[in-house]
Amino acid sequence: MAAMIPEPMQRALDLAGNAAQHVSPNPMVGAVVVAADGSVAGEGVTQPPPGPHAEVVALEAAGESARGATMYVTLEPCAHQGQTPPCTDAIIGAGVSEVHYAVRDADSQVDGRGQEALEKAGIRTIGGEGEEEARHINEAFFKHRTTGLPFVVAKFAVSLDGKIAAASGDSRWVSGAEAREWAHVLRTRIDAILVGSSTVVVDDPSLTARPGGEEAERQPLRVVVDTRGRTPPMAQVLSGDAATLVATGPDSPPQWRASIQASGAEVLPLPLAGEHVDLRALLEELGRRDIVTLLVEGGGVILGAFFDAGLVDKVHAVIAPLIVGAADAPAAVAGEGAYRMADALRLREVTVERLGDDLLVTGYPEPAEAE
């Protein structure tokens, strides 16, 4: 039986999980300060860089009540100077007597050093309360810090018969208005969004986050995988204020590269893996740029390549109550795929929710076990 999570820690987890603003590349953290008399003296969530971390926000709210208090925080407090001073210094200076943290920080600059600093100052420190929940909230952060790679989320909208467009290529719209709004909100909470060149040529998407029909203040990096140089210089993905990165192969035409760069986008030449851009090399480069979460939106060829390479960490599949039919209509995922059903990727920890008339299926892929 799982250990009970103390009420203040559960509150801190709720604060982190429901934070209104995306704070990447920092983790989403919640903190609660409980005064010596048992009352909640302050709460906080980490602010977007270079804003303060959750611990400092909660301590400022608590004021003098922090002296002798207990802090509950969803991640081990940092003990190093980054864009903000060490949180351990703020905790020690405020006179907090005890700190409970849910999970140890995987960042190599922390990773136990926060607890060590607090205990050296005489502050009792307890870890592990709500660890599973805290890891889930920051699943992308933990992957990035331990592997250097972004957390890859594959997202697609399909008909009941698995098609993402009609036989003509028309894909507007597979999903309903509620699902499309959900997708735009999702875009505000990721660092980069990726499509293949075929999607750009056929659909000409802008790939911006527009919740409520309005351009979000913070836009994800737009990434186009274009091995041979097919993206038109006038494509919408190259326009607007959001940054765009076009990953291409070593043999794409120099004049095409120049036209893409003239639009304001960055061209990133990468080696090939087979006939296409090496996706792992691309992920490594994005990871170096502090891209913590990458949303892959298609089309079927690029999604198939990510699945075939075992690079997908999470799946969001929107299933619409439509029947497209047509043998030539494109499917959501292409690539080599599974030769036998036993080889198919199955999802674990599956959840299903309604988005209007559509269903959102979310889960984590894991390869089939060997017989």
Q: Is the peptide bond before 38 cis (omega within 30 degrees of 0)?
A: no
What does pTM read for this prediction? 0.92
Average pLDDT over residues 10-21: 92
Catalytic residue among 43, 55, 129, 133, which?
Answer: 55
Of 278, 162, 158, 268, give the one whose Cα is nearest residue 223: 268
**Enclosing H/E stretch for 186:** helix 177-187
User: How many residues can be counted in the chain?
Assistant: 371
55 catalytic per annotation: yes
The whole-number average pLDDT for the span 135-164 is 95
pLDDT > 70: what percent of the chain?
A: 98
pLDDT tens column, 223-245: 999 999 999 999 999 999 999 99
Question: Per-residue pLDDT for 154 more than 60?
Answer: yes
Q: Which of 71, 180, 85, 194 is nearest to 127 (CA)?
A: 71
Q: How confident is the model at residue 2 (pLDDT cuts 50, 70, 90)?
A: low
Residues 214 and 86: their CA atoms lie apart, in Å, by: 37
User: Do 159 and 324 form a contact (C-beta atoms < 8 A)?
Assistant: yes
Measured distance CA(210)–CA(191) in Å, rounded: 15
